[in-house]
Amino acid sequence: MTQTWNTSEPVTPEVRTYAAVTGVVLLLLMFFGVLLRMTQGQWLGIGPDLFYQIMTAHGIGMVAIVTLGGMAVIWHFMGRYLALHRAAAIANLVLFLVGVVMVLASIFLGGYAAAWTMLYPLSSHSLQVWSDLAASGYLVGVLLVGVGMLVFYLEIARAIATQYEGGFKAALGWKRLRTGNKEDAPPPPIIAGAVCTIGNLVGTLFGAVILVMMLIHVFLPQFAFSALLAKNFIFLFGHVVINVAIYMAVVAVYEILPRYTGRPWGVYPAFILAWNATLLMVLTVYPHHLLMDFAMPDWMAFWGQIISYASALPVFAVTLVGTLANVHRSGMRWDLASGLLVLSIFGWSAGIVPAVLDGTIAINQVMHNTQWVPGHFHTYLLLGVVPMLLAFMTWIGNQGRAGQFGAVRGGTFWLYAVAGLGFTMAFLFAGSAGVPRRYAVHLAQWVGYDRVASVFALLVLLAAALIILPAVVRIATRGRTVAAAAAR
């Protein structure tokens, strides 16, 4: 494969803004997470009402902000092949910020606290804990973020269809499979970006439909519908959006690591098949969230279990093999950005194991709604997707040059990795001891896990701040171009 790297490429103001906003909001929401864990550990006296408000903000906020961070990554790297209209990125950011303000106001002023999964009919029937205004403010806020996402992905879809030679078929790699011609292989940001675009367009549409239905229900309670249908839509939406966030962020691995190793990322048939299979599976695997819902058709539960096994593997396998092949004996320079990218592959793989276990019906019967669940998803989010985003921020902040992995940065890196692992392991251990998730008040025998986790959480927050704050300052002050070839 012939590919030449530009020696320097612009980082647009919108990408820099997305990255900086992502960094700052991540820190704020991690701080919220620390408050939750310390409350469970009885080190903080936050009452249950406020606990559930903070938990709702932490959950929905994290899902939204890693999506924004992933969008920065694909917008930047897809922009090397497509002329994308910056107005779409700006509109998305504005809708995002307005939506987030509405969500935060509904939560912290209006008392809304139905968790980020907002399961119907809960958003409205709050037993006076929050008003209809707060419920509708939350739903409209999330809807606005979703509308922004639609604008963003429709712009990418338009660009693929009209500018990329061969349109979506070529972008998804079908042309390469048909002709067998290596020149027809789409570059990694194009194939991954195309899959994410289709996935999130479908996922967000389902989300928008259910949000509107729930909104109507707030004001017209006689407009009622099946709670099971609502749960299906919500989890289709939720599963797709959080997984697509990972699939967007992984483009940072495909694009940045090669600039350290001097070897382009290979797009071979297995890679193409893996991404196409992922598109089908990410849209259909969500019944693994409904394994306890006995009213679901059995075949859907079985499908959810089987596809859970299958869906974790393809993209992860080609990414792992690709990373090893790319890094092995390349003489790569280790610095904060390249280290975080390798860490992210480790975290992603480590998180898949407990996730697949939980997607097994027999195990889910026991582990469902224990802290095993936040245990597995924090592993691939905190140690997978977040390091990908931190690497992207660090890399554009460094203007694409390899930095130094001196004592301070090296120490910060290891602090993040070790504390992150300790934090997620505490969830997993607590889960396997039967500690339920989403409880504000813990029994005395659970508090030990909570306190160990709280210490690790504080250390993660510290390390994240030491990585994010310098990167954001650099992005704001320099970061206008990245000099890609200078990495070696």
Cβ atoms within 10 Å of 76's Cβ, excluding its own: 26
Binding at 421: pick from ligand HEM, Cu ion, none (beta carbon under 5-8 Å per type): none
Q: Check binding of 59 to ligand HEM (CB under 6 A).
A: yes
- Report the site for ligand HEM in 424-463 (rule: CB under 6 A): 437-438, 457, 460-461
Q: Check binding of 419 to ligand HEM (CB under 6 A).
A: no
Binding at 176: pick from Cu ion, ligand HEM, none (beta carbon under 5-8 Å per type): none
Shortest distance, position 119 Cβ to ligand HEM, whole Å: 10
Residue 119's identity, in one-letter code, is L
Q: Out of 21, 55, 389, 482, point to the residue binding ligand HEM (CB under 6 A).
A: 55
**Rounded Cα gap, residues 71 and 58, in angstroms:** 20
Q: Check binding of 386 to ligand HEM (CB under 6 A).
A: yes
Q: Which stretch binds ligand HEM (CB under 6 A): 112-120, 139-147, 393-401, 403-411?
A: 112-120
Binding at 130: pick from ligand HEM, Cu ion, none (beta carbon under 5-8 Å per type): none
Q: Which stretch binds ligand HEM (CB under 6 A): 62-70, 71-79, 123-131, 173-181?
A: 62-70
- The DSSP output letter for 383 is I
Residue 275's identity, in one-letter code, is W
Q: Which stretch binds ligand HEM (CB under 6 A): 34-42, 228-236, 256-264, 301-309?
A: 34-42
* 223-229 LR contacts (CB < 8 Å, sep 24+): 224/121, 225/120, 227/119, 227/120, 227/121, 228/290, 228/293, 228/295, 228/296
313, 321 Cβ separation under 8 angstroms: no
In the bound state with ligand HEM, the residue whose beta carbon lies nearer, of 272 and 463, is 463
SS3 readout for 353-373: HHHHHHCCHHHHHHHCCECHH
> Which conformational region is residue 186 in: left (phi greater than 0), alpha (psi within -120 to 50 degrees), or beta?
beta
Residue 42's identity, in one-letter code, is Q
User: What three-state secondary structure class fits 400?
Assistant: coil
Q: Out of 176, 259, 378, 474, point to the residue binding ligand HEM (CB under 6 A).
A: 378
Q: Check binding of 62 to ligand HEM (CB under 6 A).
A: yes
Shortest distance, position 75 Cβ to ligand HEM, whole Å: 19
376, 428 Cβ separation under 8 angstroms: yes
> Which conformational region is residue 167 in: left (phi greater than 0), alpha (psi within -120 to 50 degrees), or beta?
left
Which whole-number Å values give the CA distances from 36 to 100, 215, 359, in the listed order?
20, 28, 26
In the bound state with Cu ion, the residue whose beta carbon lies nearer, of 239 and 442, is 239
Binding at 375: pick from Cu ion, ligand HEM, none (beta carbon under 5-8 Å per type): none
User: What three-state secondary structure class fits 436?
Assistant: strand
Q: Check binding of 376 to ligand HEM (CB under 6 A).
A: no
379, 424 Cβ separation under 8 angstroms: yes
Shortest distance, position 138 Cβ to ligand HEM, whole Å: 13
- Binding residues with ligand HEM: total (CB under 6 A): 25
* Residues pairing with 9 in the sheet: 482
Q: Out of 18, 51, 96, 116, point to the residue binding ligand HEM (CB under 6 A).
A: 116
Q: Check binding of 289 to ligand HEM (CB under 6 A).
A: no
Binding at 239: pick from Cu ion, ligand HEM, none (beta carbon under 5-8 Å per type): Cu ion
Residue 40's identity, in one-letter code, is Q
Which whole-number Å values give the CA distances from 302 to 193, 397, 473, in the listed order?
30, 46, 49
Shortest distance, position 288 Cβ to Cu ion, whole Å: 5
Footprint of Cu ion (CB under 5 A): 239
Shortest distance, position 170 Cβ to Cu ion, whole Å: 30
Shortest distance, position 322 Cβ to Cu ion, whole Å: 24
Binding at 34: pick from Cu ion, ligand HEM, none (beta carbon under 5-8 Å per type): ligand HEM
Shortest distance, position 393 Cβ to ligand HEM, whole Å: 14
Q: Out of 186, 374, 387, 470, point to the residue binding ligand HEM (CB under 6 A).
A: 374
